[in-house]
Amino acid sequence: MIFRTTTSRAGGSALPRVRTTAALRPLHHRLDPARVEEIPFRAGDGVRLGLTRVHTGAADRPAVLLLHGHTASADMFLLPETRNLVDVLLDDGYEPWLLDWRGSCRLPYNETGQRYTYDDVALYDIPAAVHHVRERVGDRPVFVVAHCIGSLTLSLSMAAGLVPGLAGVVSQGVFLTPKLAGRTSLRMSLAGELLKTRIDHVPVDFRKVGLWSKYTPLFALASRKASCPDPTCQILHNSAWGTGASLFVHENLSEATHDRLADLLGPAPLWILPHLRRIELARSVVRWHETDHRYRQLPPNALDAAGRIDTPVLLLAGSDNGLWLDSQRLCHDVLAERQPQLDVSYTEIPGYGHLDTFLGRGAALDVFGHILDFLGGRR
């Protein structure tokens, strides 16, 4: 596979452009800028995050907090090239709020700065965001729509009782019972051990790292048997940052969205793999910090503490999820057996994978209606 890249004028490989400040990259959307409020916001431990409110001019609309997946950002809900989830929520009478938690590619933490675990997201990021939204909207209902790791960490917050009284939660991709394919789990373990001394994150934009870089073997591996010539697509669709999984059904993306993948998804930090690996082996969301008293509010195992969940939950998944497989169906079955008192339902979207449930060009027709039906029954 031959890649197109850019090189410096001196003939060396292009240097990666790494941000070293916590400044948020601007959101990319087609909304009236006067309606979009970027709120100065910090997590419970002081880390700078991003929180955005889309004003509607109405004082009675339920709020919907949107949580992206790891290495994605709030941009995934605002695609200007298609009818996106924020459009649909606004038209149906909701007020969207968007959190860029510390795993967002609008922030630099996956590449630089202090390392974190998913415990930090569950303990500091999500509860602080929910608290801020509630302070601003008063007694109006607050819903959450969460994707991938945003949903996984939300489940830990909910099992800890840190976000009680939500009107409803839509969980996409994975919730309490993560399940990866065997080869994905194996590659994740091998990558963590073999690469940790050489690199600390896996980039997705080949143009930024150049042909003669330490990342080239990863892109070359991702290109094997790939049907798409784009290196970013290969490392996401054909490899999921080198794990051998797939993040979307290729034909579900519009050409414009496909061309923006390097902006919509950022580098994946390898130092998060030990926590993710522990979670996957347990088939449950487990706490990483076992002795640090700062995290004692989080249960050691979220599935064991699921009885504390006091919120209706819709488990949503594409039938062709190439990353988390049937994790959501498994979660529904386990909770039905262990916690039958919980209000948990499961919906599978035929022909969809993982990311394309939000990024797909037909998601407004095929996916978002299920979300609106769930929210509408509980507003």
Q: Using 50, 70 and 90 to split pLDDT, how confident is the model at 10? A: very low
Listed in sequence order, the residues at least 6 apart from 21 whose beta carbon sits closer than 8 Å to its beta carbon are 108
With 60 as the cut, is the pLDDT of residue 292 above it? Answer: yes
Q: Using 50, 70 and 90 to split pLDDT, how confident is the model at 13? A: very low
Both structure tokens of 78: 């605002």
With 90 as the cut, is the pLDDT of residue 93 above it? Answer: yes
With 80 as the cut, is the pLDDT of residue 108 above it? Answer: yes
- What's residue 238's pLDDT? 79
Q: How many CB atoms lie within 10 A of CB 190?
A: 12
- What's residue 371's pLDDT? 98
User: What is the longest distance spanned by two Cα atoms in the chain?
Assistant: 66
- What's residue 162's pLDDT? 98
What is the pLDDT averaged over residues 5-31?
59
With 80 as the cut, is the pLDDT of residue 7 above it? Answer: no
Listed in sequence order, the residues at least 6 apart from 36 whose beta carbon sits closer than 8 Å to its beta carbon are 27, 29, 52, 53, 54, 55
pLDDT in tens, 62-92: 999 999 999 999 999 999 999 999 999 999 9
Q: Write down the residue that tokens 């607050």 correspond to.
A: 142
What is the pLDDT averaged over residues 228-256?
89
Q: Using 50, 70 and 90 to split pLDDT, how confident is the model at 250? A: very high
- What's residue 77's pLDDT? 98
Window from 75-84, 128-137, 267-276 with minimum mean pLDDT: 267-276
pLDDT in tens, 331-345: 999 999 999 999 999
Higher pLDDT, 21 or 3: 21
Listed in sequence order, the residues at least 6 apart from 199 whose beta carbon sits closer than 8 Å to its beta carbon are 214, 215, 270
Window from 179-183, 297-301, 319-323 with minimum mean pLDDT: 179-183
With 70 as the cut, is the pLDDT of residue 17 above it? Answer: no
Average pLDDT, the chain: 90
Q: Using 50, 70 and 90 to split pLDDT, how confident is the model at 9? A: very low
What is the pLDDT averaged over residues 81-107?
97
Q: Under a CB-based contact definition with an 8 Å cutoff, are residues 143 and 97 in contact?
A: no
With 50 as the cut, is the pLDDT of residue 149 above it? Answer: yes
What is the pLDDT averaged over residues 272-301?
95
Higher pLDDT, 251 or 19: 251
Q: Using 50, 70 and 90 to split pLDDT, how confident is the model at 21? A: low
Q: How many CB atoms lie within 10 A of CB 185?
A: 18
Q: Under a CB-based contact definition with an 8 Å cutoff, are residues 290 and 101 in contact?
A: no
With 50 as the cut, is the pLDDT of residue 362 above it? Answer: yes
Higher pLDDT, 112 or 356: 356
Q: Using 50, 70 and 90 to split pLDDT, how confident is the model at 141? A: very high
Residue 116's nearest CA partner among 173, 21, 46 is: 46
Q: Using 50, 70 and 90 to split pLDDT, how confident is the model at 12? A: very low
- What's residue 220's pLDDT? 78
With 50 as the cut, is the pLDDT of residue 105 above it? Answer: yes
Higher pLDDT, 29 or 215: 29
- What's residue 3's pLDDT? 39
What is the pLDDT averaged over residues 244-256?
94
Q: Under a CB-based contact definition with an 8 Å cutoff, are residues 58 and 102 in contact?
A: no
Higher pLDDT, 341 or 12: 341
Listed in sequence order, the residues at least 6 apart from 298 whose beta carbon sits closer than 8 Å to its beta carbon are 119, 122, 123, 156, 160, 287, 289
pLDDT in tens, 193-210: 666 666 778 888 888 877
**How deeply is 373 buried, as exposed, middle or buried, from its count of CB atoms within 10 A (0-12, 13-18, 19+)?**
exposed
Interatomic CA distance for residues 26 and 188, integer angstroms? 32
Residue 163's nearest CA partner among 237, 88, 65 is: 65
